[in-house]
Structure 1
Amino acid sequence: MGAITAREAKPTINDVAREAGVSKKTVSRVINRSPLLNDATREKVEKVIAALGYVPNPQARALALRRNFLIGLIHDNPNAQTVLNVQEGILSAIRDTEFALVVRPVNRRSPRMLDDVRAFLEQQRLFGVLLMPPISENDELARVCEELGVGYVRMGSAQLDSGEHLVESNDREAVRKAMEYLVALGHRRIAFVAGPEGFRSARERELGYRDAVKAAGLPQGPELEAAGNYTFETGKLAGDKLLDATERPTAIYSCNDEMAAGVLHAARERGLSVPDDLSIVGFDDSPIAAHIWPPLTTVRWPVAAMARTAALKLIDPGHASGQPALFPSIFIERGSAAPPRR
Structure 2
Amino acid sequence: MICIDYQEVAQGIVSITSSNYQGGRLATRELLAAGTKPVLILNSQNSPVDQERLRGYKAELAAANFDFTEIHIFQLNMRQDETIDTRRLTMRGVLRGLPQVVGEAPWGTFAVSAQLTADILFAAHSLYLSVFEDLKIIGFDDSPIARYSFP
Coarse TM-score class (shorter-chain normalised): 0.7 to 0.9
SS, match of residue 279 in structure 1: strand
Q: Does 1:216 align with 2:73?
A: no
Return the offset for 1:196: 1.8
Task: Write the distance in 2 (CA, Å) between the matches of 1:201 and 1:222.
Answer: 19
Partner residue of 1:185?
Answer: 34
Aligned-partner residue type, residue 244 of structure 1: G
Structure 1 contact 230–259 (Cα < 8 Å) conserved: no
**Bigger RCO of structures 1 and 2 (CA < 8 A, at least 6 apart):** 2
Return the offset for 1:180: 1.2
Aligned-partner residue type, residue 72 of structure 2: L
Q: Does 1:227 align with 2:75?
A: yes
Structure 1 contact 252–280 (Cα < 8 Å) conserved: yes
Return the offset for 1:244: 2.1
Return the offset for 1:236: 5.3
Once the two structures are superposed, the pairs formed by residues 78-227 of structure 1 within 5 Å of their partners are 129-131=1-3, 133=5, 136-138=6-8, 142=9, 145-146=10-11, 151-153=12-14, 166-187=15-36, 189-227=37-75
Return the offset for 1:253: 0.6
Q: Among all aligned residue pairs of Structure 1 and Structure 2, give the percentage whose two residues are the same amino acid.
A: 24
Q: Does 1:268 align with 2:125?
A: yes
Q: TM-score, normalised by structure 2?
A: 0.76
The match for 2:93 among 218, 240, 253 is 240
Return the offset for 1:279: 0.8
Partner residue of 1:291?
Answer: 148
Structure 1 contact 235–259 (Cα < 8 Å) conserved: no
Return the offset for 1:210: 0.8
Return the offset for 1:274: 0.8
Structure 2 contact 40–74 (Cα < 8 Å) conserved: yes
Q: Which runs of 5+ in 2 are unaligned?
A: none
Question: How many residues are paired up?
Answer: 142
SS, match of residue 280 in structure 1: strand
C-alpha distance 173-207 of structure 1, shift in aligned 2 (>3 A): same
Return the offset for 1:176: 0.8
Task: Write the distance in 2 (CA, Å) between the matches of 1:171 and 1:196.
Answer: 15
Aligned-partner residue type, residue 66 of structure 2: L
Partner residue of 1:254?
Answer: 111
Structure 1 contact 173–208 (Cα < 8 Å) conserved: yes
Task: Write the distance in 2 (CA, Å) between the matches of 1:291 and 1:275.
Answer: 18
Task: Write the distance in 2 (CA, Å) between the matches of 1:152 and 1:227.
Answer: 33
C-alpha distance 217-197 of structure 1, shift in aligned 2 (>3 A): same
Task: Write the distance in 2 (CA, Å) between the matches of 1:222 and 1:131.
Answer: 32
Task: Write the distance in 1 (CA, Å) between the matches of 2:126 and 2:61.
Answer: 28
Structure 2 contact 41–111 (Cα < 8 Å) conserved: yes
Choose 1 or 2 for highest CA Rg: 1
Structure 1 contact 230–255 (Cα < 8 Å) conserved: no
Return the offset for 1:130: 4.1
What do the CA deviations read for 1:72-118 (whole angstroms, capped 9, x no partner)?
xxxxxxxxxxxxxxxxxxxxxxxxxxxxxxxxxxxxxxxxxxxxxxx
C-alpha distance 224-190 of structure 1, shift in aligned 2 (>3 A): same
Return the offset for 1:269: 2.3
Alignment root-mean-square deviation, CA: 2.7
Task: Write the distance in 2 (CA, Å) between the matches of 1:178 and 1:152.
Answer: 31
Q: Does 1:278 align with 2:135?
A: yes
Task: Write the distance in 1 (CA, Å) between the matches of 2:35 and 2:49.
Answer: 27
